[in-house]
Amino acid sequence: MSLEIERKFLVDTSKLPKLENGKKMIQGYLQQRSPSIRIRVQDNAAFLTIKGDAKNNITRTEFEYNIPIKDAKELLKECKGLLISKTRYEILHKNHLWELDIFENENSGLIVAEIELEDENEEFALPEWVTTEVSSDPRYTNASLSELPYSQW
């Protein structure tokens, strides 16, 4: 069993470092809830991901598998809700990797920073560009954004 321990934060864009080497992603959900089943295409790679319910708002089971890109593109046509388009940037800050997602289309204007941890109680330093934690707000999950996009809040 694989666990994902992830915390999410909003971002002050005026304090961001220069962003380079962003990766475009398109993802959709065959199932948004318990468990969520996601299809993601990133560059020339594709993944099927199954995520369980979040425990303590930040920990959940996660299983991810590489799948053929042709299959992923077909599966995206079967997804429920909106497809999520975003560009992801990786930023190393004090020995932790942060993933910064800049959303597009119906979720344009939303920027979320995520950090994956080894333990729920792991200490980490917040970059100056991180603001409010939204880990416990279900609206900020990508599955929720496919049902109710940021532009409709």
Residues that are catalytic: 29
Tokens of 85: 């388009």
The span from the CA of 125 to the CA of 123, in Å, is: 7
Give the CA distances from residue 103 to residues 34, 126, 146, 150, 151, in Å, rounded to whole numbers and listed in that order: 24, 21, 12, 9, 11
Whole-number Å distance between alpha carbons of 45 and 68:
8
Q: What are the residues whose beta carbons fall under 8 Å from the beta carbon of 146, sequence distance 6 or more?
A: 28, 29, 32, 79, 80, 81, 82, 83, 84
Tokens of 116: 């994956």
